[in-house]
Every structure is written in C-alpha cells, then in structure tokens.
Amino acid sequence: MFSLLAFIFATLNAGAQDPGLKIGDTAPEIRLLTAANDSFALSSLRGRLVLIDFWATWCAPCVKEQPELKNLYDELKKQVGEGKFEIVGVSLDKSRENWVKAIERLQISWPQVSDLKFWRSPVAKAYHIEELPFNVIIDGYGKIIAMNLHGEELGAFVRRHLGTD
C-alpha cells in the first residue's frame, strides 16, 4: 500500500523536470562571472568530475543543502587539489548583495557564478531547469552522468566515480 503511494508520488516528481537534457548529453557551456567578478567557463574544468549546483539564496531547500555540499567538498579536498573533482555553484539570484553575503555566511569555497537574472537567466533555459534545487554531474569529457541527486545518494555517486568509496 505504502509502496504504491510512494510510486505514484515518485512518478509525479519524475515528470516535474523538463526532459530537455538527459544523461549522456554534453552539458551546455556556462560562461559567467564569479562573485569576485572573474570570468569563468565550465569547459575550463575538462578532465574533472564536476558537480554543477543550481541554487539561489531565495530557495530555502538550496540554502539548506549548502553545508552538505561543504562537507563533501572538504572530504574531497585532496581530489579537488589534484584536479579530479570540482563543484560549481550557479546562482539564480537577482540581488548581488544577498548572493555575496550568503557565500560568506555559508563559507562556500568552490567557484560561484551568476548572471543575477533570477528565472530569466539564459543558463536556466539552457539546462531546462524547472525547479530548484537542481544539479547535474558531468564527467571529464563534459558529458552529463547524473542529474538531480541529493543527500546520501549524491555523496555516494561522487565517491564511487572518484574511487574513494
């Protein structure tokens, strides 16, 4: 009985994300400024496993997830240093002030980029984002190998691909 209910909700949720991008596709290029106003290109991270985290300070569940990402990032500090892993935070914020303050408060040390265009961001369109939080994991060739993993599942996937599990 419960599993039937769970199945119904899982099916409903699965339909929530636009089917525009799928596993195996090349991740669209992201060319934006960082919070420190430096230029950034996703393609500069070729060769690494990259977790692209789409978030915003106005998205409560996204903000709540940041400490978990921080734990994962700290745990994989060695792999980050060796050029094997990276996280990129892409924010759909509108207010630069809110964005920069949150990065400081949450002590986020991985690259953070945004065009500060809220839901009008061309990146949101390119990645067919329908709701936040949303993330994509790409391999060293820039191919999408996972979408929208969170919590334990996310950590396990990353560790498995880096061979640290």
Partner 1 sequence: MYRIFLTGVLAILAFQVKAQQKQEPWKPGQLMATEVLADRILAGEAENMLIVSIGPDDPIEGSFDIGPGKDKESIAALKSLLGKTPKDKEVVIYCGCCPFDRCPNIRPAFKLLNDMGFKNAKLLDIPKNIKVDWIDKDYPVKEEN
Could you say whether residue 119 binds partner 1 (CB under 8 A)?
yes
Which of 120/160 has CB closer to partner 1? 120
Could you say whether residue 118 binds partner 1 (CB under 8 A)?
yes
Could you say whether residue 129 binds partner 1 (CB under 8 A)?
yes
Could you say whether residue 12 binds partner 1 (CB under 8 A)?
no
Least separation in angstroms between residue 122's CB and partner 1 is 11
| Buried b / exposed e along 5-20 (16+ C-beta atoms within 10 A) | eeeeeeeeeeeeeeee
**Between the CA atoms of 139, 144, 149 and 150, what dihedral angle is there, to the nearest 10 degrees?**
60
Could you say whether residue 59 binds partner 1 (CB under 8 A)?
yes
Could you say whether residue 143 binds partner 1 (CB under 8 A)?
no
| Buried b / exposed e along 31-66 (16+ C-beta atoms within 10 A) | ebeebeeeebebeebeebbbbbbbbbbbbeebbebb
Could you say whether residue 146 binds partner 1 (CB under 8 A)?
no
Our measurement of the distance from residue 121's CA atom to the centroid of its chain's CA atoms, rounded to an integer in Å, reads 15
Could you say whether residue 56 binds partner 1 (CB under 8 A)?
yes
Least separation in angstroms between residue 161's CB and partner 1 is 30
- Count residues binding partner 1 (CB under 8 A): 22
- In the complex, the residues that contact partner 1 under the rule CB under 8 A are 1, 4-5, 16, 56, 58-61, 93-95, 117-120, 124-125, 129-132
